[in-house]
Structure 1
Amino acid sequence: MNPDALEHSPGRMSHVTMLKRAIEKGYRALDFLRGDEPYKAHWRAEPRPLLEIRVVPARACARLRHGIWLVGTSMKQCVKNGLRRVGGEAARGSGVGRGELGGRSKNA
């Protein structure tokens, strides 16, 4: 993709319009929602704490479904953290990711 064309991409133009209108209306903050996509840093977005509240009925079936969902969410986070760790070690030159076996560097 042509980097010069990015300045006029539909997403960027949409954000420019949205920001102009927010400024005109006197808004002091704009929420880009969750996630740390690179475009948010371009707009100087700052991370904000996220509060999650879940209400689960007392029925056994609902509690079981919620428990299964929690396990899935925890496993997803564990996998992400593990991949991040392995990626970090590969970047430091531990051999992981270059065909060598093992997941730890000698210095770890």
Structure 2
Amino acid sequence: MEDLASPECSGVDSKRILPIATNESVGSFPSRLKINKKRQEGNPLIKYIRNVVFEWDSEIKSDFECSRNCGIVYLSAKYHKLHPGYIETRLKDLSRYRIKVFSL
């Protein structure tokens, strides 16, 4: 039986090693994830983002941007209870994204 995690099956170049979490693009590897610096700078969950290159970007409308078409909003349950209409406001901000993800 073939090892489905092997480089041959996954199409991954085993000689190419991607860096572990950093706040800058590295060499020829473009960033894969953008994080809104204004909104997420103090978020304790940021330290758990690993094995993906990311960059801080204060210009994006979402909290996290996976691609030009995918925006993610992180909202704590405590904040939602205090400000229940906030989700609607943020949803309007995400109108340019085809895929909208809310993490609560």
Q: TM-score, normalised by structure 1?
A: 0.25
Greater Cα radius of gyration, structure 1 or 2: 1
Q: Relative contact order, CA 8 A, sep 6+: which one is greater?
A: 2
TM-score when normalising by structure 2: 0.25
Which of the pair is proportionally richer in strand? 2
